[in-house]
């Protein structure tokens, strides 16, 4: 089952790359807020849910998500620092850091997670859509026990609410 999830994650990553390479001209980051679907896959199961990203300044964004799956409900918030990739309009790399609260469905124990991220964000100029892919390992802390999940990846898309509004 884990190999199947990894294959799905790689296929989505290749799709994001193909769209990025195959699209015509794309403008630099030209949105302020986007909402969409986040798929968080890898070690520990698959989580899926809505998320929102908002740029407070051209290079500084916040992302929040509510994810479900693998017997968990996860609330996550993250700060992200963005920079454009030279020669690839609409494509930016980013680094992020945030926290997560994990609520297991079968117990009252809440877990805390520290979540760094490194990824790419691509805004399609001809559509109000942004695609992203990142590596987001998780450091989980619960009842004095720690766990590190290195193989975690975020994939998704956003509908842009205010295209052309650069922060």
d(CA 83, CA 136): 18
The verdict on residue 167 lying in a domain is no
User: What global pTM score does this model have?
Assistant: 0.77
Structural domains of the chain, count: 1
d(CA 139, CA 120): 21
Q: Give the pLDDT of the chain (167 residues) as one tens digit per residue.
A: 444 444 444 444 444 443 333 333 333 456 899 999 999 999 888 999 999 999 999 899 999 999 999 899 999 999 999 999 988 888 999 999 999 999 988 877 888 999 999 999 999 988 999 999 999 999 998 877 889 999 999 999 999 997 655 55
The verdict on residue 90 lying in a domain is yes
Place of tokens 């990025």: 20
| Cβ(151)–Cβ(135) below 8 Å | no
The verdict on residue 166 lying in a domain is no
Give the burial string for 56-72 (b: 16+ CB within 10 Å, else e): eeeeebebebebebeeb
Residue 118 is part of a domain; what is its CATH number? Answer: 2.40.160.20
The verdict on residue 55 lying in a domain is yes
The verdict on residue 41 lying in a domain is yes
Domain that holds residue 95: 2-160
């Amino acid at each position: 089952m884990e190999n199947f999830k990894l294959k799905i994650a790689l296929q989505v990553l290749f799709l994001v790359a193909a769209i990025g390479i195959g699209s015509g001209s794309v403008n630099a980051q030209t949105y302020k807020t986007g909402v969409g679907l986040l798929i968080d896959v890898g070690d520990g199961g698959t989580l899926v849910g809505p998320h929102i990203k908002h740029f407070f300044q051209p290079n500084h964004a916040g992302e929040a998500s509510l994810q479900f799956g693998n017997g968990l409900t996860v609330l996550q918030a993250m700060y992200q620092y963005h920079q454009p990739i030279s020669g690839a309009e609409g494509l930016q790399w980013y680094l992020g850091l945030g926290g997560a609260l994990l609520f297991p469905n079968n117990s009252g124990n809440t877990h805390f997670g520290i979540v760094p991220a490194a990824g790419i964000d691509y805004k399609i100029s001809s559509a109000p859509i942004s695609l992203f892919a990142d590596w987001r390992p998780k450091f989980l802390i619960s009842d004095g026990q720690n766990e590190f999940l290195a193989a975690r990846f975020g994939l998704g898309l956003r509908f842009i609410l205010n295209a052309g509004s650069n922060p």
